[in-house]
Homo-oligomer: A and B are copies of this chain.
């Protein structure tokens, strides 16, 4: 279902830009003419990722409710795990002892570990940040835990993902300039420490790349300065962080505009923790290649589905007698083997199969959207795809409207 071969056929014989280092590399195949959208391939020791791509989140070493085999079947190529959660339980030493993160997650494709910087932001009420790192209480057993730039790189090295994210500070309020400035300064200094530790460990030569993270909140000058300090390290890839943390959509767009265009064109660009179909179009048009978010999996567990015709809340009583598929355009098991009425029964009965099916559907929906976006960039018609597809996806599908339509 991945559509990779179709993409191959539309590519130029040679990339427009390319980087190669150890087991990593990035090929830029095409640029859109009406936006900064890019078509690329990110190469890792565990395989290639066609970009733009969405990476499902496997916080504690499992994408919730999904067998790894089925992840592959719905089109996932690269997945995430969370350094913070795996450090607390079961601990990186045990993950390593049990065979490393790929074995632990039963996933032989590329994996990326975040660094815990975002968890520090989201757990701010129990975290104490100083110039050298962060101290917080474990949500597992209440113990005090210390995260430092060097320490996080050591944890990520032991976990063994293909991509380790640098330890950054995500400012709590992206509009508070003094706080953002301080966070940028820490992020800059911590990145130096991360890069040094990563080199000491010889990580890149043994299969693990380091990505730097650009902070700067809504301030273009701070983002630019933070970005240039990061790019000076000549890393395998870069991320845009601290975006979509509560600010409005215009500020989100401005934050990406102040970052992505200035990143080297031959390296992958990853927008952290985003998001929704509209976010994807916004960010891809601004030059982003990689995404991760818990939206598809978390929404599924709350019985909410993304579809080509709008968002569907399966608990809505109006779906009770609905014999039509959740999304007639989708090829996933939930859409080809079940009707909305049956899915609703599974959800209202609190059966595991409801979230299991909806998780596969939502992931398939996100991956299919990325496939369509890649095809549209190749055909240089991304804006047309946005105009055709996004308004319906953004709507909420109500049972009455569906009844009219079918």
A interface list, Cβ under 8 A from B: 60-62, 64-69, 89-90, 94, 97-99, 103-104, 106, 320-321, 323, 333, 337-339, 341-342, 345-346, 348-349, 351-353, 355-356
A98 pairs with B351, CB closer than 8 A: no
Name the contact of A98 in the complex, choosing from B65, B97, B321 (C-beta under 8 A).
B321
What is the distance, in angstroms, from A322's C-beta to the closest C-beta of chain B?
9
* Chain B: CB-nearest residue to A60: B349
Q: How far does the alpha carbon of A65 sit from the alpha carbon of B104 in the complex, in Å?
A: 21
Q: How far does the alpha carbon of A143 sit from the alpha carbon of B269 in the complex, in Å?
A: 57
User: Which chain B residues border A67 with CB–CB below 8 Å?
Assistant: 333, 353, 356
B106 pairs with A349, CB closer than 8 A: no
* Chain B: CB-nearest residue to A86: B345
User: Which chain B residues border A341 with CB–CB below 8 Å?
Assistant: 90, 94, 97-98
Given A89-B345, A90-B320, the answer on whether A339 and B98 have CB atoms closer than 8 Å is yes
A345 pairs with B61, CB closer than 8 A: yes
B321 pairs with A94, CB closer than 8 A: yes
User: Which chain B residues border A98 with CB–CB below 8 Å?
Assistant: 321, 323, 339, 341-342
What is the distance, in angstroms, from A392's C-beta to the closest C-beta of chain B?
25
Could you list 10 A-B pairs, sorted by A, with CB under 8 Å? A61-B342, A61-B349, A64-B353, A65-B352, A90-B345, A94-B321, A98-B339, A103-B342, A106-B337, A352-B352
B62 pairs with A353, CB closer than 8 A: yes
Given A90-B320, A94-B341, the answer on whether A356 and B61 have CB atoms closer than 8 Å is no
A99 pairs with B323, CB closer than 8 A: yes
Known: A90-B341, A98-B321. 4 other contacts (CB 8 A): A62-B351, A67-B356, A69-B333, A89-B348
Q: How far does the alpha carbon of A62 sit from the alpha carbon of B353 in the complex, in Å?
A: 7
User: Which chain B residues border A94 with CB–CB below 8 Å?
Assistant: 320-321, 341, 345
Name the contact of A353 in the complex, choosing from B65, B321, B349 (C-beta under 8 A).
B65
Given A67-B353, A349-B89, the answer on whether A339 and B62 have CB atoms closer than 8 Å is no
Q: How far does the alpha carbon of A97 sit from the alpha carbon of B344 in the complex, in Å?
A: 14
Q: How far does the alpha carbon of A342 sit from the alpha carbon of B62 in the complex, in Å?
A: 11
What is the distance, in angstroms, from A156's C-beta to the closest C-beta of chain B?
18
User: Which chain B residues border A104 with CB–CB below 8 Å?
Assistant: 342, 345
Q: How far does the alpha carbon of A104 sit from the alpha carbon of B351 in the complex, in Å?
A: 14
Q: How far does the alpha carbon of A349 sit from the alpha carbon of B139 in the complex, in Å?
A: 12
What is the distance, in angstroms, from A352's C-beta to the closest C-beta of chain B?
4
What is the distance, in angstroms, from A158's C-beta to the closest C-beta of chain B?
15
Name the contact of A323 in the complex, choosing from B97, B106, B342 (C-beta under 8 A).
B97
* Chain B: CB-nearest residue to A323: B98
User: Which chain B residues border A345 with CB–CB below 8 Å?
Assistant: 60-61, 89-90, 94, 104
Given A106-B338, A333-B67, the answer on whether A60 and B351 have CB atoms closer than 8 Å is yes
User: Which chain B residues border A66 with CB–CB below 8 Å?
Assistant: 353
B99 pairs with A346, CB closer than 8 A: no
What is the distance, in angstroms, from A296's C-beta to the closest C-beta of chain B?
15
Q: How far does the alpha carbon of A218 sit from the alpha carbon of B339 in the complex, in Å?
A: 46
10 A-B pairs with least C-beta separation: A65-B352, A62-B353, A90-B345, A60-B349, A98-B341, A106-B337, A62-B351, A104-B342, A98-B342, A98-B323
Given A89-B348, A89-B349, A349-B89, the answer on whether A65 and B97 have CB atoms closer than 8 Å is no
* Chain B: CB-nearest residue to A357: B67
B333 pairs with A97, CB closer than 8 A: no
Given A97-B321, A337-B106, the answer on whether A65 and B356 have CB atoms closer than 8 Å is yes
User: Which chain B residues border A342 with CB–CB below 8 Å?
Assistant: 61, 98, 103-104
User: Which chain B residues border A333 with CB–CB below 8 Å?
Assistant: 67, 69
